Amino acid sequence: MVNVITPTVVTAPELTAKFFRGLGDPTRIKILQHLLEGEKNVTQLVELLGLPQGRVSSHLACLRWCGYVHSYREGKNVYYAVADTRVRDLLRLSGLILTENAERVLACKVIR
Q: Which pLDDT tens digits describe the chain residue by residue (112 residues)?
A: 555 555 556 668 888 889 999 999 999 999 999 999 999 999 999 999 999 999 999 999 999 999 999 999 999 999 999 999 999 999 999 999 999 999 999 999 998 7
pLDDT reported for residue 95: 94
- Domain of residue 26 covers 13-83
Greatest Cα-to-Cα distance within the chain, rounded to the nearest angstrom = 61
Residue 88: inside a domain, yes or no?
Answer: no
Residue 38: inside a domain, yes or no?
Answer: yes
Contact (CB, 8 A) for 29 and 91 = yes
Looking at residue 61, which CATH number applies to its domain?
1.10.10.10
Residue 110: inside a domain, yes or no?
Answer: no
In a 13 Å sphere around the CA of 53, the CA atoms on its Cβ side amount to: 5
pLDDT reported for residue 3: 54
pLDDT reported for residue 78: 95
Provide the number of structural domains found in the chain. Answer: 1
In a 13 Å sphere around the CA of 95, the CA atoms on its Cβ side amount to: 8
What is the CB neighbour count within 10 angstroms for residue 86? 10
Residue 4: inside a domain, yes or no?
Answer: no
